[in-house]
Amino acid sequence: MADFHGEAACVLENHFVRLEYLAHSARVVRFAPQGKRSLFADLGKDPTPTPYGDFYFRGGHRLWHAPEAMPRTYIPDNDGATLDEIEHGVRIDQPVEPWTSIVKSLTIQLNPDQPQVILRHELRNEGAWTVELAPWALTMLRLGGVGIFPQPVRNAGDTSLLPNRKLAFWPYARLDDPRLILRDDCILVRAHPQLPPLKFGYFNPDGWMGYWLDGILFVKRFDAHMPASQYPDGGCNVESYCNDKFIELESLGPLGALTPGQTIIHTELWEINDGLKGPFIPEEIRRLIDKTARGSQLVEQ
């Protein structure tokens, strides 16, 4: 067992990575290569008041459902979870949410042979009414690194008569934000403490995004097989939020009508590439970007 600001946390680890999750909630609060500092932001236990009690961001990884709204999105997930050990991991089931009647579940499994984690996010409707939502997996990381968000490239034979890229910006985001770097092959975000916050989103057909910090490249892979029109927030399956405390890498599933008793699943695969050295975007990172863009398919265990 471990401690997270007075809350009990359980440990999953192998030769490659160490991960800590809360013993009473579907939250991953620390994650790192073995022997290294956690990549995740740590926000302690500052409360966000809601009509259903205090919500805590905490830092790390959580499951929400989009589109974002208060209080629906911020219904607390502080306690009452049940844990079941599975091969190389754990399944965590939250109690039914008040008002929404949605049940959140998170399955975490370590790949015993590689520095990889498979996360299966589930939302189940236990209510009497259909609910429109999208699964939304958010990972809060420490500042000081660079977020990497691949962009669609021009295909051979493309006549360029139709657009192939669209970005969504939130009202508080500045288009001249110095943290934001727009490139043809990817969008980069220098994760430095600055206000106002920056948030953008887009449809990412490549199914991955990354964060480079302290010589480590953290990659999140996800399913990206649905048309852009079926995702929330103007067709976004990837979003990123950066403020003066953390940067978030967010993947979203398609927006749909979840009928009573129905479950929707959203899977992520986390990968760690350790020991990378060099300047802002070293050649090692460029090769990994190229490799990941061609990369392996998302595989569940």
Q: Quick one: what percent of the chain has pLDDT higher than 90?
A: 82
Rounded to the nearest integer, the mean pLDDT of the chain is 92
| Residues whose CB falls within 8 Å of the CB of residue 62, separated by 6 or more in sequence, listed in order | 26, 27, 28, 77, 137, 138
pLDDT, residue 281, reads 64
Which of the residue ranges 33-42, 115-124, 162-171, 256-265 would you say has the lowest mean pLDDT? 162-171
Other CB atoms within 10 Å distance of the CB of residue 214: 14
pLDDT, position 282: 61
Q: What is the dihedral of CA 86, 89, 93, 94, to 10 degrees?
A: 160
Q: For 250-298, what is each residue's pLDDT tens digit? A: 999 999 999 999 999 999 999 999 977 665 566 767 776 666 655 544 4
253 with 239: CB under 8 angstroms? no
pLDDT digits 0-9 by tens, 36-94: 999 999 999 999 999 999 999 999 999 999 999 999 999 999 999 999 999 999 999 99
Tokens of 180: 């934001």
What the block records as the tokens of 25 is: 């909630």
Which residues, 6 or more positions from 117, have their beta carbon under 8 angstroms from its beta carbon? 17, 19, 31, 108, 109, 110, 111, 269, 270
DSSP letter at 301 equals -
288: enclosing H helix or E strand: helix 283-294
pLDDT in tens, 212-228: 999 999 999 998 888 88
